[in-house]
Structure 1
Amino acid sequence: MTSPSPSADHGSIRLHVQAALAEGASVLLEEAQSRYLGTVMRRTVGDRLRLFNGRDGEWQARIVTLGKRGALAEAEALLRPQAAGPDHWLLLSIIKREALEWAVEKATELGVAEIHPVITVRSQPARPNPERLRAIAIEAAEQCERLTVPAIHPPRPLEAALRDWPAGRPLIAAIERGEAAPPGPQAGSAALLIGPEGGFDRMELDAMRRLPFLVPASLGPRILRAETAAIVGLALLQRPSTS
């Protein structure tokens, strides 16, 4: 199979699908995707689009059928092979719904592999909807041209997340008003922990400082909103190493 020229017109629309992708594969699109293609984007049978599933790379496809209840596309040619992104996790204390959704969108754009909402002493009482957060992550992945969608985990207490922490993955914890250094670049597996508005409780801080895998870090002299801190921290983890 010959890969198309990068300059060719493969269609500006990218959709995430669950089906396997290969040359000639028929891919059934969901009703919402069909409605988006036909009603919002005014596409029709024969038009091109791009499909990805997080496993098989990105494929040029062509719309074969398009109706109100669904659509069928056929994968034609591989545009980009699957490639591994940064193996970074985000642990974010539950904050207000709008702020949490914004953080999920931006963390997806930054390539985070997994998002873990955690419950801390000062977390917001509301509980996020993992399905809605996944929908936000999918839309962000489609827009930013990444090849994967981050895993969105159900909320769990911070204590439980730390108790079951996987060996070999450093956890960089953003500590307000601390004297720690900024987080360094992380080329391998790593995770970032961001607390709630108002910061971590004193007992939480004392417990975290006893953990051998936890690395305290500072995000600068100013107190950042939780969603801002998440994006700043992820960007610092991904910056190129100068060593």
Structure 2
Amino acid sequence: MPDHDFKSPRLFVEADLAEGAAVEATPAQANYLLNVMRLGEADTVLLFNGRDGEWRAVLKRPAKKRLAFRPATRTREQPEPSDLQYFFAPLKHARLDYMVQKAVEMGAGLLQPVLTQHTQVTRINDDRLRANAIEAAEQCGILGLPDCREAIRLDALLDSFPAGRRLVFCDEREDAASPIELLHREARGPLALLIGPEGGFSAKERELLRSRDFVVPISLGPRILRADTAAVAALAVIQAAVGDWLPHDRWQHKD
């Protein structure tokens, strides 16, 4: 584990970050830092914006009801964005919030809601989805925010799926063979993961998915998992088998 500072308050800002360039805190950030954390002028926090790395910034009080950040030193450079794409059937609010946060923690670089026959929720609050992604990044030391996309129907997703990328499809009806061995054998190069709704994919949708040569069906074992649990399990399997949990030279040069 890198030696990061996980004790200082860590906040996402929209503004560009550069040494000495003041950034205005939002009212919610000011309330949190001044009234909840009881910080004052000259205390420091960590800032990131998904572009300029992580900065240690000094708190400034330009007026009684205002708070500003003055970036002083860059503590971490901005890493390359994660290439792991996560497609999911939307769930009800609490479970969707949890799933989005865990997907960000597990390294998803793109969040794409997908509408299926048994999808529970068809209207997505895009602002809420992004807010959950930001919260997860703030709490877990993540510097890159995922690209949050608008919902798309499953058939449209498959028709527009980019060439050269494999789609890992978690199928509860797949034989419980080792997903690690299957991923080692079948899932090379850029990857996306698809998790279906609580009711599962319909027979027609499963047939449609299996008809595409870029789809890799895997099992998550002999137990039926809820969609948010399946998301965490599948992302962990992918990262362990062919993702960034491996040493860099191993996943770049598989034989």
Give the TM-score normalised by the residue count of structure 1.
0.90
Distance in 1 (alpha carbons) for counterparts of 2:230 and 2:109: 18
1:174 to 1:10, Cα distance in 2 relative to 1, 3 A: closer
Pair 1:211-2:207 in alignment: no
Task: Give the deviation of 1:188 after TM superposition.
Answer: 4.6
Greater than 3 Å deviation, 4+ residue runs: 66-70, 185-188, 240-243
Letter in 1 for 2:41: V
Q: 1:197 to 1:78 in 2, by over 3 A?
A: same
The yes-or-no answer on 1:28 pairing with 2:59 is no
- The amino acid of 1:218's aligned partner reads S
**Partner SS for 2:179:** coil
Give distance in 2, aligned partners of 1:69 and 1:206.
59
Amino acid at match of 1:14: R
Unaligned runs of 5+ in 1: 1-5
The residue that corresponds to 1:199 in the other structure is 200
1:84 pairs, out of 80, 84, 87, with 80
CA distance in 2, matches of 1:67, 1:161: 50
Report what 1:101 is aligned to.
Answer: 97
Structure 1 position 67, deviation (Å): 6.0
Identity of aligned residues (%): 44
Alpha-carbon deviation of 1:212? 1.6
The one-letter amino acid of 1:209's match is R
Deviation, 1:28, is 1.6
**CA–CA distance in 1 between the matches of 2:178 and 2:40?**
54
Show structure 2 runs of 5+ residues with no match: none
CA contact (8 A) 1:33 1:70 kept: no
Q: Does the C-alpha gap of structure 1 residues 187 and 144 become closer, same or farther in structure 2, counting only changes over 3 Å?
A: farther
Deviates more, 1:20-29 or 1:113-122: 20-29
Spell out the pairing of 1:70-219 with structure 2 (5 A cutoff). 70-179=66-175, 181-182=178-179, 184=183, 188-219=189-220
User: Take 1:66 and 1:168, find their aligned partners in 2: how far apart are those partners?
Assistant: 52
Change (3 A) 1:226 1:68: farther
Write the distance in 1 (CA, Å) between the matches of 2:25 and 2:168: 39
**Local SS of the residue matching 2:150:** coil
Deviates most, 51-60 or 187-196: 187-196
SS at match of 1:104: helix
For 2:117, the aligned partner's letter is V
Deviation of residue 70 (structure 1)? 4.3
CA distance in 1, matches of 2:66, 2:202: 49
Deviation at 1:125, TM superposition (A): 3.6
What secondary structure sits across from 2:113 in the alignment? strand
Shift of 1:13: 0.5
SS of residue matched to 2:51: coil
Per mean C-alpha deviation after superposition, the further-off stretch among 96-105 and 9-18 is 9-18
RMSD: 2.2
Look up the match of 2:11.
15
Provide the C-alpha distance between the structure 2 equivalents of 1:106 and 1:112, rounded to a whole number of angstroms. Answer: 9
* C-alpha spacing 1:127/1:31, structure 2 compared with 1 (3 Å): same
In structure 2, relative to structure 1, the CA distance for the partners of 1:124 and 1:68 (3 Å cut) is farther
Partner AA of 1:191 in structure 2: A
Q: Which amino acid aligns with 2:105?
A: E
Counterparts of 1:36 and 1:227 in 2: how far apart (Å)?
29
Aligned residues: 237
